[in-house]
């Protein structure tokens, strides 16, 4: 095996965001661009010779080509074995599962999650550590530092690996094992959930609809829902993974999963609907003519965990990202367990799970998961809901309303302003930070500001500190407005406004969220000068 050392020069824009490095496909196809970042990963992690690496992605455009390059670079950098998903496919939670099951040194996941795909769409790459979770900030910062001074990368000359056939092959001294991307994950799900009870539910006339959005979860959904649980084949929508996601936007929300929404809000609607995203780590839950917010979904899952075999032992704790509503906090208090508030990004939950401090985690951005892996997990959340429904034999809406009656309703919404000019978005955030002094104690009708800050987090496990995680405006009645720039986009800037108020009165639980939050929405637009500074008169997406 001949190893080639290729001279290169650094790129200045290889700083990983919330979940890895994401750019447009043409950026990654530049000469040396992918190779530079991969070599920076390998130089940073310094894997011992002979280590095993997991490799796969969500099947988007450029996935296969990137895998062949990374395999040849892994061989040149001394790895002994790579476990690659068949066809180059591994959902993000499945990759975490494989890393943990086979105790590999880590894994490289090729995905831009919920971002659009195609020749001019988005591509992404991230490194997950031996616990199966995204690399923490200290590692991603070191990768970025390495990328700024890289002078060469290592690669071997070899034939491409046949990714569409299971089995072993060699690149020089390195073994490549092409594995079934679905089986290990599906077997793990069977250890957590009551599959016989769910089968009984689905065989008794309970109708479901799952939208894979032409993304990675199609094969997983077919194997689990159809083959193992007996759902009808026509309960699957858009189940064929496509490199461009069928021209759609694989983000499971009310705007982009419109086909599913129309089915669940239409005549003769199914009893249950769900969708997952590009790489399978996000989920949306719907009942008949009813939407469950991700924040409520986390809280309801926590309150009903005792119904699910894998969680009957009880919950060690719950963690949620700061912008996520405080609905889960109320359940944690009732269960007498801790609830941790972290920055956005699944990597912040890893330390808490590894230390045994939390069992369930969730983000308002349609991500929910548990300590079974170290990534959020879309199909896991769908199975959790199906298990609850199989036990309680109530509708999705009735379960949610009973939850609100017991704990109160945290009325919640997120307004996304996508593809803003970066200077305008940054200007809004600077204005808010500069307004902290005058905002504290300010009165807006019946609402008074209690606290404004830029959220920071001290990890209770390792003491690491993360600052600048989002502007919070907290009111004396418990209402909140949060402003945050998203770290998952590739074009322009996405500014998100999170709005929350608590309503204990059951008679008011039928109010539309936008109507109930109208005062907070007005305050948010006023203090941010968002319309004036960006020219936008409405959000791109409301959830």
Alpha-carbon span 52 to 481, nearest angstrom: 45
φ, ψ of residue 53 to 5 degrees: the values are -120, 140
Residue labelled with tokens 């405006």: 473
Is the CB of residue 117 less than 8 Å from the CB of residue 61?
yes
- Give the SS3 label for residue 72: helix
Query: Which of the following is catalytic: 113, 276, 295, 479?
Result: 113
Helix/strand/coil (H, E, C) string of 423-485?
HHHHHHHHHHHHCHHHHCCCEECCEEEEEEEECCEECCCCCCEECCCCEEEEECCCCEEEEEE
- The HSE-up count of residue 499 (CA atoms within 13 Å, CB side) is 20
Residue labelled with tokens 């060469």: 152
Decide if 321 is catalytic: no
Burial of 80 (0-12, 13-18, 19+ CB in 10 A): middle
Cα 4 to Cα 8, 73, 100, distances in angstroms: 12, 10, 32
Following DSSP, what letter does each residue of 323-384 receive, concatenated? TS-THHHHHHHHHT--EEEE-SSTHHHHHHHHTTS-SEEEETTTEEEETTSSS--HHHHHHH
- Give me the active site residues, please: 113
């Amino acid at each position: 095996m001949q190893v080639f050392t290729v001279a290169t020069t650094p790129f200045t824009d290889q700083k990983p965001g919330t979940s890895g490095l994401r750019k447009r496909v043409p950026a990654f196809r530049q000469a040396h661009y992918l190779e530079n970042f991969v070599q920076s990963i390998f130089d940073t992690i310094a894997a011992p010779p002979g280590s095993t690496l997991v490799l796969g992605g969500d099947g988007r455009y450029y996935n296969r080509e990137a895998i062949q390059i990374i395999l040849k670079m892994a061989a040149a950098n001394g790895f002994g074995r790579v476990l690659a998903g068949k066809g180059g496919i591994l959902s993000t939670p499945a990759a975490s599962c494989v890393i943990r099951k086979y105790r590999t040194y880590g894994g490289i996941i090729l995905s831009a999650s919920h971002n659009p795909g195609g020749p001019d769409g988005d591509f992404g790459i991230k490194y997950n550590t031996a616990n199966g979770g995204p690399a923490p900030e200290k590692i991603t910062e070191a990768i970025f530092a390495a990328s700024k001074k890289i002078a060469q990368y290592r690669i071997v000359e070899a034939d491409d690996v046949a990714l569409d056939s299971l089995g072993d092959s060699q690149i020089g001294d390195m073994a490549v094992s092409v594995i079934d991307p679905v089986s290990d994950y599906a077997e793990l799900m069977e250890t957590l959930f009551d599959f016989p009870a769910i089968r009984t539910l689905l065989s008794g006339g309970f109708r479901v609809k799952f939208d894979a959005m032409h993304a990675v979860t199609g094969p997983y959904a077919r194997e689990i829902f159809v083959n193992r649980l007996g759902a009808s084949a026509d309960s699957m929508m858009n189940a064929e993974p496509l490199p461009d996601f069928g021209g759609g936007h694989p983000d499971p929300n009310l705007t982009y999963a419109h086909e599913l929404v129309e089915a669940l809000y239409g005549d003769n609607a199914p009893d249950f609907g769900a969708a997952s995203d590009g790489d399978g780590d996000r989920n949306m839950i719907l009942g008949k003519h009813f939407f469950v917010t991700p924040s409520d979904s986390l809280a309801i899952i926590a309150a009903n965990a005792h119904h699910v075999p894998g969680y009957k032992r009880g919950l060690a704790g719950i963690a949620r990202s700061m912008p996520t509503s405080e609905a889960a906090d109320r359940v944690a208090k009732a269960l007498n367990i801790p609830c941790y508030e972290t920055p956005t990004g699944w990597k912040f939950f890893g330390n808490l799970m590894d230390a045994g401090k939390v069992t369930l985690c969730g983000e308002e951005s349609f991500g929910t998961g548990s300590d079974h892996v170290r990534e959020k997990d879309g199909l896991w959340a769908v199975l959790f809901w199906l298990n609850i429904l199989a036990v309680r034999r109530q509708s999705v809406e009735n379960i949610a309303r009973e939850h609100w009656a017991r704990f109160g309703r945290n009325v919640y919404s997120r307004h996304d302003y996508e593809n803003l000019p970066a200077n305008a978005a940054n200007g809004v955030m600077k204005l808010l930070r500069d307004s902290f002094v005058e905002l504290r104690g300010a009165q807006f009708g019946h609402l008074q500001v209690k606290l404004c800050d830029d959220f920071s987090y001290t990890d209770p496990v390792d003491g690491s500190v993360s600052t600048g995680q989002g502007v919070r405006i907290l009111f004396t009645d418990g209402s909140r407005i949060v402003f945050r720039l998203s770290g998952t986009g590739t074009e322009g800037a996405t500014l998100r406004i999170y709005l929350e108020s608590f309503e204990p009165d059951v008679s008011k639980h039928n109010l539309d969220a936008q109507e109930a939050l109208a005062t907070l929405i007005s305050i948010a637009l006023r203090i941010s000068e968002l319309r004036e500074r960006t020219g936008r008169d409405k959000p791109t997406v409301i959830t």
